[in-house]
Structure 1
């Protein structure tokens, strides 16, 4: 099996540009026929595989360029800025994204005899590596299964379990094992991130959040920045602004109402923060998203 085979199979299903859901709920396919503008978005726990073209993802101060034959693992909900950097009509950007389940990963890891994570391995919420042949083969089989709808319910969970096993035991393994190891810094930071995701509207003292995950304030801030590339307050701000954009786009709320809904006390501060992140004030940005010059804006394409 080759990466070109995967690109061909994605192209057969994703015939037009866009983000395509599939009969396998955790699997989506993504196609772009040209470069895209940098777009702030949130990546969730999952595996992205680029079959053709290239992309750049910025996480805090870290910039990752990845392309054909590489895989990107995200181990927590993570605000990023992403854009397609290599694509044209003849060779579109082709990518698949497989959402992963944290509980299933923990259960699978518990059933495997895995080596301990090296102490020098710094915890990270995102990792990039070359796709190995066995994982590529499993990805191709998962996409090809879409051609056999009657077998999806029976076989898709088995291939997804195989992919989890190969991720836990392969180059991405240390980062996943950090995530699922109870009491590890990564696990504690992931718990804090999950709490912030559920409670981003409320103001919270970061010292209290550190205590919630049984860390000292200084250790918490250090590990949070290493893991996510940003401070806890920056992370909360990104969550608020991403949700604000979603509300204005899909519920037609005005900027003032939206600011209050996501936890801002000052509408002017909300507008300033929004403009810094998305490159335009709220009203102009939402108008741009509803009437983009080329393709639909705001999509991550993983």
Structure 2
């Protein structure tokens, strides 16, 4: 009961900070490195994006997220740990009248995770391995308390530069040793099959426009083709070729939205040889052809 009381107290404190620092509907980057606040006022609103490795905690409301090919239900005091860059589709729901969806998340530092895992191995700190790239569970009270100390720095800007790096490192450690830490340990322990998949993902991101020959990719990360396929599917929910297509489409969307590129130019920049094929696959991914999707997104963004 004491643990639940503490979780309730930190939840309320975090909600107050998020509400105070989110002027409207959306995702807000804070002055604290890697920390974001989320506030969604619209019910049954679906967002699609390509997420980076992160830890997210729901403070209020409910959402259904599809990461990879798995569906996750998140509600108050649920925590999702995502260890890989992946396609995400989230539907925000409201169960009570006038209730908003509130959450916060921080991006994971891959280098920090690898360093901490090496230290954990030196000291024989136990962990629960996982073959997947994502995990959802109840938030640990220690993680919630640490998140509160990080979030309250938003109102103490003069302390951010010194305190935030220490708290973020502590958060990474607490997640690693927590109930969901096996997801990250399996991915960022040097020499593991899952870490080889992380190396493959990094290569695909850095060479998004280049043709993909899976046999060559497998050699680069020192795996057999069958092993790469199996572990890549476990971690991301997709095959390497499917994953590359997702990367290309989301990067093309970013180019059109952020850099005002025409669809034909964006298609070529991400590696498509046929604009017709690009338009067809873009509509299949996002539900609208590129021009119409951009019009809706820009109208929504600029109000």
Same structural fold, with TM-score higher than 0.5 when normalized by the shorter chain: yes
Structure 1 window deviating more from structure 2 (98-107 vs 29-38): it is 29-38
Aligned length: 293
- Shift in CA distance, 25/122, structure 1 to aligned 2, threshold 3 Å: closer
Partner in structure 1 of residue 252 of structure 2: 244
Q: 187, 192, 198: which is aligned to 1:190? A: 198
1:20 and 1:114, CA in 2 relative to 1: closer, same or farther beyond 3 A?
Answer: farther
- 1:34 Cα deviation (Å)? 2.0
Q: Offset of 1:219 from its aligned partner?
A: 1.0
Q: Which has the higher contact order (CA 8 A, sep 6+)?
A: 1
Structure 1 stretches of 5 or more lacking a match? 298-302
Structure holding more helix per residue:
2
Which residues in structure 2 correspond to 1:118-197 (within 5 Å)? 121-197=129-205
SS at match of 2:271: coil
1:19 matches 2:19: no
Give the distance between the partners of 1:218 and 1:9, measured in 2 at CA. Answer: 48
Q: Which residue in the other structure is 2:80 paired with?
A: 72
Cα-to-partner distance string for 1:45-84 (whole Å, 9 max, x where unaligned)? 1111111111111124311111110111111111122221
* 8 Å contact from structure 1 (residues 189, 223) kept in 2: yes
Q: Give 1:39-118 correspondences, 5 Å limit.
A: 39-86=47-94, 90-112=98-120, 113-115=123-125
Shift of 1:87: 6.7
The alpha-carbon deviation at position 114 of structure 1 amounts to 4.6
What's the TM-score once normalised by structure 1's chain length?
A: 0.91
| Offset, 1:261 | 1.1
Give the Cα–Cα distance (whole angstroms) in 2 for the partners of residues 227 and 296 of structure 1. 36
Residue 158 of structure 1: how far off its partner (Å): 1.6
With normalisation by structure 2, the TM-score equals: 0.91
Q: How far, CA to CA, are the matches of 1:87 and 1:259 in structure 2? A: 40
Distance change in 2, residues 1:154/1:87 (3 Å): farther
Deviates more, 1:37-46 or 1:61-70: 37-46
* Residue 261 of structure 1: aligned partner: 269
Instruction: Indicate the larger mover: 279-288 or 102-111.
Output: 102-111
Partner of residue 293, structure 2: 285
Contact 1:17 1:31 in 2 (8 A): yes
Q: Which runs of 5+ in 2 are unaligned?
A: 1-5
Quote the RMSD (CA, aligned, Å): 1.9
